[in-house]
Structures are given as structure tokens and as C-alpha cells.
Structure 1
Amino acid sequence: RLHNDDFFSLSLLQIVSSKKITRTLLLGNGKPAGKGMITIAAQELSDNRVITLSMAGRKLDKKDLFGKSDPFLEFYKPGDDGKWMLVHRTEVIKYTLDPVWKPFSVPLVSLCDGDVEKLIKVIVMCYDYDSDGGHDFIGEFQTSVARMCEAQDASPLELECINPKKQKKKKNYKNSGIIIVKSCKITRDFSFLDYILGGCQLMFTVGIDFTASNGNPRDPSSLHYINPMGTNEYLSAIWAVGQIIQDYDS
């Protein structure tokens, strides 16, 4: 049982730099609190996967007076309240009905909450861009990350872009164009903690270049100024950085 005066001193950096760490519980006077021990294990729960998509369009509906459109894509996912939330928007491709968007990457946790096995809906909205901000709706469709991952470089995935209003009014309506998933790849964007837990070793070394361009160290305006108080800008920077990474120094 822990009491209010049982404690141990440990920084967050010490915890995350060790997969598991055990410490003795201490009393307020610094003496051991009996035989009490505490073990803390660090685990990063965030999903570091990133999805990279390469997409294009074919024969999209005309929206401009001159028979062209300025299309871009918007990706939505359902929120906890059931409403669709915008998570990504591509760049606008000017004056074309057959756009080819630049490949783009989105964190998987942002696009589908990181769950590719469950059929989480992703709405892709295709609008026509106008400078006044009044975008013209071209069409939409629903898909999933699992479905888009079927696309390969040699075998792209084609999805029909549907305008519900046109679909209801026109009996012979087919679609408002085709959106093509040319490729879909999921990779991992490794974090600093991933490297540390994976065994990466760091050595903290400080080097200072005493160049003449920084001025005379006796001049208070110099970065190398020998301050009678004992600190200068270099020492402050080294101290700030060193305090953060000292626990990672192997």
C-alpha cells in the first residue's frame, strides 16, 4: 500500500529511454519505504503508419464555361458523432477533365483511425474549384483503405464518381467521371522513440567553433562573451539541449 509520503524521483525521459525501469520507493526523509518497489514500462500507443496515394481522374463532368473543370479531392472519415470530418484535400489541377494529382501521404490514424481491417468508410469528394470559394460539386463515392490498397502500379483501381442529384433526375445517368487509384502504399514513419527502443545508441558531444566572426569574447555583444555571471548564449543553449538528451546518451 502506498502512502502520501512514499515517492520516487524519475524523469519522463528516463522512463521512455528504458523499456522497463524499477525503483525503490522512498520516504519523505529519503529513506527506503520498507521493501516497496515500483516498476514502470514505457509503450508508445500512437500509430506510426502512413498511407501514400497516387490518384487521377478521367472524363470528369464539365463545370466551367469553356468545357473544363478545376478538380481537387477531399477525403472524409466518420466522427464519433456520425458526421463526416475532412481529413485531407489535394491540390487543384487547373483546366482539365483528366486530372493527375501529385502523390500525397496522410497518417493512417488520421485517415481511418488506423484500422484497415474494419470497413471504415472514407468519402472522396470531387469538387470544381473557383477563385471565389464557391466550389461546384462534381460527385462522390465511398471506399475504404483496404479497398484502395488493392491498387497496384500495374493494376490501378477505378471507382465511379457519382452525383446523387443527377443520378435521380436522369434515367440513363452512368457517372460523373472515374477516379483512379494508381497506387496505394502503407509504410511506417519511425519516431525518435522507435529508434531508441530499437537499440539505437547516441553519444552527446559538444563542439564550439570560436570563429572571429562571432566577435571578441570580451565584448558583451559576442556569442562567446565570457560573462562574469558564468553563462553566455552558447552555454545556455548547450545546457538546455543537454538536459533533454542526457538520458539518451549511451
Structure 2
Amino acid sequence: MEIYKTNGDQNDQLVWRTEVVKNNLNPSWEPFRLSLHSLCSCDVRRPLKFLVYDYDSSGKHDFIGEFTSSFQEMQEGTANSEQEMQWDCINPKYRDKKKNYKSSGTVVLTQCTVEKVHTFLDYIMGGCQISFTVAIDFTASNGDPRSSQSLHCLSPRQPNHYLQALRAVGGICQDYDSDKRFPAFGFGARIPPNFEVSHDFAINFDPENPECEEISGVIASYRRCLPQIQLYGPTNVAPIINRVAGPAQREQSTGQATKYSVLLVLTDGVVSDMAETRAAIVRASRLPMSIIIVGVGNADFSDMRLLDGDDGTLRCPRGVPAARDIVQFVPFRDFKDTPPSALAKCVLAEVPRQVVEYYASQGISPGAPRPCTPATTPSPSP
């Protein structure tokens, strides 16, 4: 069956084609969703034309018949849950030639409902806070910070690659974060006092309060932290994902849209614990959480592109698929010579959709709109 919205004297516009049900004279089509805009351009009285065909593998489908209706008629006709609507399917050629022709069959509609689709701005205005956590790669593959070739080199002449990425990407994320306080962690370094390797240490060395005031505070903590640690390895990303997933899991248990976590990972490339990282992401895909990975330097970012999931659903080693795509990978080198707006668009391109997808999948509506103030309400898109 095909559904068309009428365009006056112009050609009718196809808006939906159902799946083919083969070898069945009484087919039942799967339920489907359409926006009111695509279905009838938000005019619920606009005539809709329904055409029914008998499928033929050669492509020469036999026309069975047609009928017209409107979204308003369908909705009102099925308003009662026990009520159905039906239409005679008329083939004009048979109607005009056959004296006793009544119809070529009947089409029955069992249900037609309107579902409110909330937007990212609805959730933000309803009090949902976006909470960013920063994680910085301090593995030895970044190079000795004392070398000018190191991605972590602290030179008085120009900011290193991580500082450039922190300022550019962090500045963008800061506009989304409600309280402008960022828990900031490092991974892959030996840290004082015992210089044991850690994959989720607070870069301000205060494990009880790892938050930094604004991105400028993250940068200040990074500068103080770097001379005190030893870059080491391996590049284990799963621990920091699991750390952020903890609060997200507690938030999930509230059943409300109050806080959505975003983990911002800055790394130079290859992941050592790929299996554990994939498993951690798959688990996090069921939580109010997203991950933005910023590739720093010129390394091979194949692992990061795999985690992004744009080429197919990410699965954990045991084959369990992610519930939704929550990872966005951005190679910082591609944006060094572009306007900030280009970087902002790429970094935050998927977060609004991911927020809406999560709460919609849980059946969680936004809270009541709150008064809008510049300090607490970010823009819905860069």
C-alpha cells in the first residue's frame, strides 16, 4: 500500500510505502510512525490518498484499488480503543465497466494515535542538566613532555595539542554544562606519592572532589598535574567510562530527566583495552550518557572510528549490541584551521539527538518548563 498527500492541481506526493506481504490475500501491515509534517504538512484535514497493489516480482504490480481519508478522520474514527475504521477499496476501471461492482476489497484501520515527540530544548527547559566529565590521556605514546615533539610539551611559546583541544572543545561543551564545574581525570600515568599506574585519577589530585571550575580550571589543573606525573600506559579507556557510568546509573534509577552525563575523552590514538572498552560502551548505551572522543595529534584513529559506530552497530565481545549510538569521534587535526563554528557543529552534532533518544526510549517526558535564564539554559544546537 502507498500513501500520498494531495497537492491540489500538482502531482500527489508519496509519503509512505508499506512493506510487501507476499502470498496473502488478507495482509496485515506492520504499524508505522509518521510525523504530521511529512504525512499532511500539519493540516489534519488534508485529503490523503491510499493506493493498494497486488505485488508482482516482475515489478508490474496489479492495481487493486484506492480510497481517500484524512488524518483527522482516522484519528476520530479510532478514538475508542475498541473501534475500527474501514474503507472500500475502489478500482475506477472496474467500477466503470462492471454493473454490480462494489469494491475490490476492504481496508481496515485498527488504531491511529498521536504521540508527542519531545525535543532537546524541551528537556533542557524542563530542568535536565548536562554534566560533562573530562578525561585526558597521559600515556607514554604522547611523547616525553620535555620534548618539543611531545603532544604534552608545555612550551611558553604556544599551547600544546592537548591544551588547544581543551580550550576549543571544552569551551564549546562549557556552554552546555549547567554548573560549569567539570570533574577532570587522567589515565595511563604513574601518579604520586607511590607512582602506581592509574587509569582514572583526579588531575587536581583531590579524589574526594575532582571538579574544576570552568574549563579554565581544568587547564590550570592540567598544567599543575603534568610535571608531577610520569607518562606510562597502557591506554585503558574502560575504567573512566565505568566511573562516569556510575552516577549515570544512579540517575537512571530516578526515572526522571534531571541529569544527563557526557564524557569528553582526549586521547592520542590506539586503545589497549579494546574489548573492555567496547563492553563498557555497550553497557553505557542503556544509561543517560554520551561519549565524545577527541583525537589529538596525527596517530592512527581506526579504533576510535570503530567505537563511533557510524559504520554499524557497536557490539561487545560477547555479541551484545549497543542499545543506541552514544559515541562521537572528532579528529581535532581536521579542525585546526577552521572556524570555531565548524568544530562546535561536529563535537556536539549528536548529543541533542542522543539525549532525546535515551529519554524517549525510557518513556520519560521533560519536566515542567522553568524560567529561562542565560546562566542555566544553553542553546539546543551549536
Corresponding residue for residue 139 of structure 1: 65
Corresponding residue for residue 83 of structure 1: 11
Structure number with greater CO (CA < 8 Å, separation at least 6) is 1
Where 1:130 maps in the other structure, the secondary structure is coil
For 1:121, give the aligned amino acid: P
Would the alpha carbon gap of residues 227 and 130 (structure 1) be closer, same or farther in structure 2, given more than 3 Å must change?
Answer: farther
More strand by share: 1
- Alpha-carbon separation, structure 2, partners of 1:199 and 1:100: 42
Determine whether 1:104 maps to 2:32. Answer: yes
- Alpha-carbon separation, structure 2, partners of 1:245 and 1:132: 54
The unaligned stretches of length 5 or more in structure 2 are 145-149, 154-158, 179-382
- Alpha-carbon separation, structure 2, partners of 1:121 and 1:148: 11
Where 2:64 maps in the other structure, the secondary structure is strand
More helix by share: 2
Paired-residue identity, %: 46
Shift of 1:105: 0.3
Would the alpha carbon gap of residues 125 and 200 (structure 1) be closer, same or farther in structure 2, given more than 3 Å must change?
Answer: same
For 1:96, give the aligned amino acid: N
Corresponding residue for residue 161 of structure 2: 231
Shift of 1:243: 4.7
- Alpha-carbon separation, structure 1, partners of 2:164 and 2:142: 13
- Alpha-carbon separation, structure 2, partners of 1:166 and 1:241: 66
Corresponding residue for residue 161 of structure 1: 89
Corresponding residue for residue 217 of structure 1: 142
Instruction: For residues 24-53 of structure 1, give each alpha carbon's deviation from its aligned partner in whole angstroms, at most 9, with x where no partner exists.
Output: xxxxxxxxxxxxxxxxxxxxxxxxxxxxxx
For 1:142, give the aligned amino acid: T
Would the alpha carbon gap of residues 245 and 157 (structure 1) be closer, same or farther in structure 2, given more than 3 Å must change?
Answer: farther
CA RMSD of aligned residues (A): 2.7
- Alpha-carbon separation, structure 1, partners of 2:19 and 2:84: 21
Shift of 1:199: 3.0
Shift of 1:161: 0.8
The unaligned stretches of length 5 or more in structure 1 are 1-72, 220-224
Aligned residues: 166
Instruction: For residues 44-87 of structure 1, give each alpha carbon's deviation from its aligned partner in whole angstroms, at most 9, with x where no partner exists.
Output: xxxxxxxxxxxxxxxxxxxxxxxxxxxxx111002365321001
Corresponding residue for residue 54 of structure 1: none
Shift of 1:242: 4.0
Shift of 1:160: 1.0
